Amino acid sequence: MECAVIRHVPFEDLGSFADVLDRRGYQTRYHEAGMDDLAAIGPADPDLLIVLGGPIGAYEDASYPFLKQEIAVVEHRLAGNRPVLGICLGSQIMARALGARVYPGHGKEIGWSRLDLAADVTVNCLTPLSDGAGHVLHWHGDTFDIPDGADLLASSDMYPHQGFQWNTVGLALQFHPEVTVGGMERWFIGHANEIANTNGIDVPALRQATREYGPDLEASGPKVLENWLNSLT
């Protein structure tokens, strides 16, 4: 099986999800947004598409024209009932592909906090995130409306729309379940300017929270992906 991964910045990669995909027999290939021709990702193949996060807005087509192509790829795959997982920016791209609005939020949500899982979803692939301390990493300032026909999966105190599922094939997660403790050091470097310009956020505090909550997420995050992949079959 093949898994195509659209990556926007090198340090926001598959993280703990990579081992899950490898164990399940996926051959993973990264496609670099802004560099590679995303049209090469067909609406039917590969078997799985994952769209990762990044520090731009899903509505910034004028500055980043490749977004139009990226949104079209996701739209065509979902229309063909082919699996797509979107994380952070990837979730916003999925929302746009499904006709929902994506827009700047009321403030930056950066750091670790708990999610409130939706109680009215019969089967929620996010249930492993309730294990342990139950904290996930947030790193965004934009948000989205829930697309027509999608089910809200989770909320946070700051933003009510943290994830949705569309049919069985579309999973959009505004937060980051894939990060690892070691990998976060690259985030602190890559997002240095944003951290410095966000009130109440600093690297020592983020690092300490990562040490506290990161190990639990490294254990529970891959279970989210396992649950969703199991639902596809």
pLDDT in tens, 24-68: 999 999 999 999 999 889 888 899 999 999 999 999 999 999 999
Domains of the chain (ranges plus CATH)?
2-232 (3.40.50.880)
- Who's near 221: CB < 8 A, 6+ residues apart? 15, 16, 17, 128, 129, 136, 177, 178, 179
Mean pLDDT along residues 68-95:
97
Given the residues 12, 109, 178, 218, the one annotated as active site? 178
Which pLDDT tens digit goes with each residue over 106-144?
999 999 999 999 988 767 899 999 877 789 999 999 999
pLDDT at 119: 83
Query: Residue 33 and residue 76: Cα distance in Å, rounded?
Result: 18
State yes or no: is 31 an active-site residue. Answer: no
pLDDT at 170: 98
Sign of the C-alpha dihedral, residues 53, 218, 16, 222?
A: negative
Given the residues 88, 109, 138, 161, the one annotated as active site? 88
State yes or no: is 125 an active-site residue. Answer: no
Amino acid at 199: N
Mean pLDDT along residues 58-87:
97
Which pLDDT tens digit goes with each residue over 135-187?
999 999 999 999 999 999 999 999 999 999 999 999 999 999 999 999 999 99
Which pLDDT tens digit goes with each residue over 190-215?
999 999 999 999 999 999 999 999 99
pLDDT at 176: 98
State yes or no: is 88 an active-site residue. Answer: yes
Query: Residue 228 and residue 233: Cα distance in Å, rounded?
Result: 9
- Who's near 102: CB < 8 A, 6+ residues apart? 57, 58, 59, 92, 95, 96, 142, 143, 144, 145
Of the chain, the percentage scoring pLDDT greater than 90 comes to 92
Query: Residue 202 and residue 207: Cα distance in Å, rounded?
Result: 9
Q: Is the pTM of this model over 0.95?
A: yes
Mean pLDDT along residues 14-20:
98
Given the residues 135, 140, 176, 191, the one annotated as active site? 176
Sign of the C-alpha dihedral, residues 25, 126, 74, 148?
A: positive
Query: Residue 194 and residue 141: Cα distance in Å, rounded?
Result: 11
Query: Residue 175 and residue 114: Cα distance in Å, rounded?
Result: 11
